[in-house]
Amino acid sequence: MKKTYILEDLDCAHCAAEIETAVGKLEGVKSSTVTLLTQKLVIDVDETEAAGITKEIRKIVKKFEPDVEVVEK
Amino acid sequence: MSKKLKKLLRRIGIGALLYLLAILVPYIIPNLNENIELGLFLFAYFVIGGEIVKAAVKNIGHGQIFDENFLMSIATIGAFLIGEYPEAVAVMLFYQVGEWFQSYAVGKSRKSIAELMDIRPDYANVIRGGNTEEVSPEDVVIGETILVKPGERIPLDGTVTKGSSSLDTMALTGESIPRDVAQGEEIISGCVNLSGVLEVKVNKVYGESTVARILELVENAGSKKSEAEHFITKFARYYTPVVVICAVLLAFVPPLILGGGFTTWIYRALSFLVISCPCALVISIPLSFFGGLGGASRAGILVKGSNYLEALSDAEIVVMDKTGTLTKGTFAVTKIVPAKGITEGELLENAAYAESYSNHPISQSLLTAYHYAIDKSLISDVEEIAGHGVCAVYNGSRIYAGNSKWMEKQQIQAQTAEEIGTIVHVARDKDYLGYVVIADEIKADAKQAIDGLKAAGMNKIIMLTGDQKKTADSVAGELGIAEVYYELLPKDKVDRVEELLGNKSEKGKLIFVGDGMNDAPVLARADIGIAMGGLGSDAAIEAADVVIMTDEPSKIAKAIQISKRTLIIVKQNIVFAIGVKVLILLLAAVGIATMWAAVFADVGVAVIAILNAMRAMRAK
């Protein structure tokens, strides 16, 4: 299933790429795309893993960009 | 400006003052203790870059050693250690100024691109129980009636039930001439109501309305990344580690081989670290594409992804469908040929009256061409013979209108018509009045479209049509298209495109342009499928990679032009950023470039590249 997150205040291109790669490696995530200009993270995740995924994503984002707020859409 | 940016700006301002103080104090108080001087510089340094050092320390814990915070910290702390205090602080200061400017520019461009596509309606005036209520467009259901006042944006798709007005479709189509609407007509969300008050019966919920679909499409366009973006991501992954390793080697190998002081070489190595961030590239390439996508959508061209915008610049073959793409797909009177002594108006009047009872498309086009209202009391005894024509009594005379067989049957000597299309011969009693040609019209800008494509370097333009040879040749001849395939079934069109795909060069791309109605398979098969007249057509928006919102084929050349311009900017940025960085790296290695030059290679280049990227947005 597709999930979209807004990464508020994301303004570092390098970090965007790091977040994209790290989220893509999470269990059950089939695809992960971060678009810096729309500040969006779109993932395709298995239904079975979807429940806990937001928490995992928050953890990753905090690691690379502590100032960025993750908002689920 | 966000809070974060304001905070950073304040920090930079205070830091810069402290830095100036640290430089000036030794001049005012001579023989100052060197430790106090160092203390002043360190104070300025931590005010400016304390956050960076903190983040660096934190990130080492996460195992991120090639993180830019870390590299900057090492470079500046290293400069302190070798006694270059002013430079250490300056590097951090300019790095922060650059970071600030970068964030500001990205935020600004994000905003201006968003404004470019600002078609989102804020509210809807819905009529409930006799009163108008202002609600969010999402809260209106199908079947409800909304009120749209002049100056307001139409929030949802629907049918006009009351009133008439003209609509500004500029934001959706790039078209500056307003479109007139009246009762009973369908209208599309996103347009701005210009003159009259309209009551509109909603026929789509907000999520399925045109405006929501377009916004979604544009927002997702950035996530389909281009080759250039993939290249840059890959490049960045190797660039930083390679430069850092070079820096380490530069610091220790030459002094061991050549002898001499470590300080000189460490200074050069630190400059390397300053240049090692690939930011300029990573940020300016997607920004250029995004700007290009934004500029295109302002011109009424929706490109569904950066990858398609990139592919358009490699277009080599353009395959176009005839009906609906180059021609209007509707019938209209294209020529009136009266017999001797008869005026065009007289001929048309008789034809229109005779056919006025029929609702065949041919009669409709005659009535449209006639312009005046038909007084039905003047006609009687209407008779229609299928496959031949009609006869009716008008103003006391018997009028015959139909094909040549119909004329033969009445033993009327009709003129032979050479024109392409449907010919309607007209006779009054036994006198021949002349004939009217009804045909599918070529679009006003079709010739300009083909010329534009030729000017853009497309030397292979091909027209496909299901029509017969005579019609196909005539349209192609008029437009200057050399290669034409006719009498094709939808399946044949796919086969043709397959064949052409096999014959093109490896890098070249094939564009197929259709109206999106019956050619979904071909649109999908082509490298780039372009659908015409997307405004209001879900099928077209769904099937194509590029959607032209209006009916103008000349926008195809425009799309290619925007694509080429964007790609030029992308290439400029890649060459400029990599070029400057490599040059400064070389100069730093041999000791010509100072750390100041290194800071320029890092943040200066990023800022220039971002400003250049913004040009992509301004489509001419």
pLDDT digits (tens, 9 = 90+) for A10-38: 877 777 878 888 899 998 898 888 877 77
Residue of chain B whose alpha carbon sits nearest to that of A32? B223
Q: How close, in Å, is residue A51 to chain B by CA atoms? A: 24
The contacts of residue B611 (CB under 8 Å, 6+ apart) are B105
Q: What mean pLDDT, rounded, does chain A reach?
A: 84
Chain A residues interacting with chain B (CB cutoff of 8 angstroms): 9, 11-14, 17-18, 33, 35-40, 42, 63-64, 66-67
Q: Do domains B124-215 and B301-326+443-549 have the same CATH topology?
A: no
**Chain B environment of A33 (Cβ under 8 Å):** 223, 225
pLDDT of amino acid B113: 66
C-alpha neighbours within 13 Å on the C-beta side of residue B177? 2
Mean pLDDT of A41-58: 87
pLDDT of amino acid B165: 92
* CB-closest option in B4, B113, B290 to A9: B4
What DSSP string describes B149-173?
-TTPBP-S-EEEEE--EEEE-HHHH
pLDDT of amino acid B18: 92
Contact residues, B window 287-316, toward A, CB-based 8 Å cutoff: 287, 290
Token pair for residue B23? 């430089």
Q: How close, in Å, is residue A53 to chain B by CA atoms? A: 20
B interface test, pick of A6, A14, A43, A61 with most B CB neighbours within 10 Å: A14
| Displacement of CA B477 from its chain's centroid (Å) | 31
* CB-closest option in B55, B110, B282 to A37: B110
Residues in chain B predicted with pLDDT less than 70, given as ranges, are 1, 63-65, 109, 112-114, 116-117, 260, 517, 535-537, 540, 619-620
Residue B531, beta-bridge partner list: B514, B547
Separate counts of helices (H) and strands (E) for chain A: 2, 4
Q: In chain B, where are the structural domains located?
A: 3-114+224-287+567-617, 124-215, 301-326+443-549, 329-442
pLDDT of amino acid B59: 75
**Chain A environment of B2 (Cβ under 8 Å):** 9
What CATH number has the domain spanning B329-442? 3.40.1110.10
| Displacement of CA B300 from its chain's centroid (Å) | 7
∠ Cα B169 B619 B544 (to 5°): 65
Residue of chain A whose alpha carbon sits nearest to that of B216? A38
pLDDT of amino acid B148: 92
Answer yes or no: do A11 and B106 touch at CB < 8 A.
yes
pLDDT of amino acid B116: 64
Q: Is B386 exposed, middle or buried (0-12, 13-18, 19+ CB in 10 A)?
A: exposed
Domain that residue A58 falls in: 2-72
From residue A10, how far is each of A1, B289, B397, B414 by CA, in Å?
24, 18, 80, 76
Token pair for residue B61? 């814990």
Q: How many domains does chain A have?
A: 1
For residue B316, count other CB atoms closer than 10 A to its CB. 17
Q: What is the ipTM of this complex?
A: 0.71
**Topology of domain B301-326+443-549, per CATH?**
Rossmann fold (3.40.50)
From residue A17, how far is each of A32, A33, B233, B530, B551 by CA, in Å?
10, 9, 8, 31, 39
B444: helix, strand or coil: coil
Residue A41, domain CATH: 3.30.70.100
What pTM value is reported for the model? 0.79
A interface test, pick of B104, B220, B289, B617 with most A CB neighbours within 10 Å: B220
By annotation, the residues of B acting in catalysis are 321
C-alpha neighbours within 13 Å on the C-beta side of residue B610? 27
Structurally, what CATH architecture does the domain formed by B124-215 represent? Answer: Distorted Sandwich (2.70)
Q: Which long-range contacts (CB under 8 A, 24 or more apart) does B38-44 make?
A: B38/B80, B38/B85, B41/B80, B41/B85, B41/B86, B41/B88, B41/B89, B42/B80, B43/B18, B44/B15, B44/B18, B44/B19, B44/B89
